[in-house]
Amino acid sequence: MSFICKDALKPAWYRVFTAIRAGCAMQVMLCRWFYNQYVMKRTAFISGLVFILGLTLSAQDNANKLEGSWSGNMKTAAGELQLVIHFAMTEADTVKASMDSPDQGVKGIPCGRVTLDDDTLMVDIPMVRGSFRGGFTNDSIITGRWTQLGREYDLSLKKGAKPIVYSRPQEPMPPYPYREEEVTFMNTVENFSLAGTLTLPQGEGPFPAVVLITGSGQQDRDETIFMHKPFKVLADHLTRNGIAVLRYDDRGVGGSKGRLTEATTMSFADDAEAAVNYLMQRAEIDKKKIGLAGHSEGGLIAPIVASRNANIAFVISLAGPGVTGYDAIIQQNIDFFTVSEMPQEDLETQLHMLRNLFTIVMDSKDQRTAAKRAMEWYNGELDTMGLAPEERAQRMTDFTQGLIQTNNAWWKYFLSADPALYWSNVQCPVLALNGEKDFQVNHKQNLPAIKNAVRRGGNRKVKTVALPGLNHLFQNAGTGLTTEYPKIEETFSPAAMDLITKWIRKTVKSGKRQ
Domain for residue 435, yes or no? yes
366 and 427, same structural domain? no
Residue range of the domain that includes 364: 326-415
Rounded to two decimals, the pTM is 0.82
Which string of DSSP letters, residue by residue, matches 162-204?
PPP----TTS--SSPSEEEEEEEEEETTTTEEEEEEEEEESSS
Edge-to-edge order in the sheet of strand 130-138: 56-57, 114-117, 120-125, 130-138, 141-148, 151-159, 68-76, 79-89, 95-101, 106-110
- What share of residues in the chain are helix, strand, coil (percent, to 5)? 35, 30, 35
Domain for residue 39, yes or no? no
Cβ–Cβ under 8 Å, residues 294 and 412: no
Residue at a domain's end among 159, 186, 205: 159
389 and 441, same structural domain? no
Alpha helix locations (H) across 407-474?
A: 409-416, 420-423, 443-456
pLDDT at 10: 35
Domain for residue 1, yes or no? no
441 and 308, same structural domain? yes
- Choose between 403 and 42: higher pLDDT: 403
Closest CA to 482 of 73, 103, 6: 103
Strand 207-213 to 244-248 pairing: parallel
Q: What is the mean pLDDT of the chain?
A: 84
Q: How far is CA 500 from CA 272, 417, 496, 503, 505, in A?
A: 20, 27, 6, 5, 9
203 and 127, same structural domain? no
259 and 146, same structural domain? no
Digit-coded pLDDT (tens) for 468-495:
999 999 999 999 988 889 889 999 999 9
Among 33-37, 85-89, 116-120, 261-265, which stretch is predicted with the lowest mean pLDDT?
A: 33-37
Digit-coded pLDDT (tens) for 272-292:
999 999 999 999 999 999 999
410 and 424, same structural domain? no
423 and 406, same structural domain? no
Among 44-48, 295-299, 332-336, which stretch is predicted with the lowest mean pLDDT?
A: 44-48
Strand 151-159 to 68-76 pairing: antiparallel
The answer to whether residue 256 scores a pLDDT higher than 80 is yes
b/e map 220-256, b = 16+ CB within 10 Å: bbbbbbbbbbbbbbbbbbbbbbbbbbbbbbbbebebb
Cβ–Cβ under 8 Å, residues 53 and 123: yes
CATH of residue 278's domain is 3.40.50.1820
State the pLDDT confidence band at 306, using cuts at 50, 70 and 90.
very high
Cβ of 391: how many Cβ atoms within 10 Å?
12
Q: Please confirm whether the linkage preceding 486 is cis (ω < 30° from 0).
A: no
Q: What is the mean pLDDT of residues 75-93?
A: 75
398 and 319, same structural domain? no
Closest CA to 37 of 406, 415, 484, 392: 392
- Choose between 89 and 327: higher pLDDT: 327
Domain for residue 172, yes or no? no
216 and 289, same structural domain? yes
- The count of structural domains within the chain is 3
The answer to whether residue 3 scores a pLDDT higher than 80 is no
pLDDT at 486: 87
- Choose between 261 and 286: higher pLDDT: 286
The Cα 164–Cα 169 span in angstroms is: 15
Among 78-82, 152-156, 237-241, which stretch is predicted with the lowest mean pLDDT?
A: 78-82
Among 31-35, 241-245, 291-295, which stretch is predicted with the lowest mean pLDDT?
A: 31-35
Edge-to-edge order in the sheet of strand 312-318: 178-187, 192-201, 244-248, 207-213, 285-295, 312-318, 430-435, 462-467
The answer to whether residue 104 scores a pLDDT higher than 70 is no
State the pLDDT confidence band at 438, using cuts at 50, 70 and 90.
very high
Amino acid letter for position 269:
A
Closest CA to 43 of 182, 146, 195, 174: 146
What is the number of alpha carbons within 13 Å of residue 106 lying toward its C-beta?
27
Domain for residue 48, yes or no? no
Among 30-44, 365-379, 498-512, which stretch is predicted with the lowest mean pLDDT?
A: 30-44
pLDDT at 139: 85
Digit-coded pLDDT (tens) for 132-170:
888 888 888 999 987 765 678 888 999 987 767 789 999
Digit-coded pLDDT (tens) for 423-437:
999 999 999 999 999
Among 80-84, 437-441, 510-514, which stretch is predicted with the lowest mean pLDDT?
A: 510-514
211 and 131, same structural domain? no
Domain for residue 38, yes or no? no
239 and 111, same structural domain? no
State the pLDDT confidence band at 113, using cuts at 50, 70 and 90.
confident
Could you write out the three-class secondary structure of 114-129? EEEECCEEEEEEHHHC
pLDDT at 127: 62
Which residues fall within 8 angstroms of residue 275, CB to CB, at 6 or more apart? 185, 194, 196, 211, 246, 248
Among 119-123, 347-351, 387-391, which stretch is predicted with the lowest mean pLDDT?
A: 119-123
Q: How far is CA 480 from CA 27, 399, 473, in A?
A: 13, 28, 9
CATH of residue 74's domain is 2.40.128.120
Closest CA to 162 of 66, 48, 84: 84
Residue at a domain's end among 159, 191, 220: 159
Task: Return the percentage of the chain with pLDDT > 90, whole number.
Answer: 59
The Cα 228–Cα 490 span in angstroms is: 8
The answer to whether residue 222 scores a pLDDT higher than 60 is yes
Residue at a domain's end among 399, 415, 431: 415
The Cα 74–Cα 46 span in angstroms is: 10
370 and 448, same structural domain? no
The Cα 194–Cα 178 span in angstroms is: 23
- Choose between 449 and 346: higher pLDDT: 449
Identity of the highest mean pLDDT range in 33-42, 113-122, 376-385: 376-385
pLDDT at 99: 75
The Cα 17–Cα 27 span in angstroms is: 5
State the pLDDT confidence band at 511, using cuts at 50, 70 and 90.
low
The answer to whether residue 35 scores a pLDDT higher than 60 is no
DSSP letter for 250, please. P
pLDDT at 61: 61
- Choose between 428 and 402: higher pLDDT: 428
pLDDT at 94: 72
* 3 state SS of 42: helix
Which string of DSSP letters, residue by residue, matches 289-344?
EEEEEEETTHHHHHHHHHHH-TTEEEEEEES--SS-HHHHHHHHHHHHHHHTT--H
pLDDT at 207: 98
H/E segment holding residue 499: helix 494-510
Task: Return the percentage of the chain with pLDDT > 70, whole number.
Answer: 83
pLDDT at 33: 37
Q: What is the mean pLDDT of residues 126-137?
A: 77
Q: What is the mean pLDDT of residues 110-116?
A: 76
Cβ of 128: how many Cβ atoms within 10 Å?
17
Domain for residue 469, yes or no? yes
The answer to whether residue 46 scores a pLDDT higher than 70 is no
Domain for residue 391, yes or no? yes
Amino acid letter for position 367:
Q
The answer to whether residue 315 scores a pLDDT higher than 70 is yes
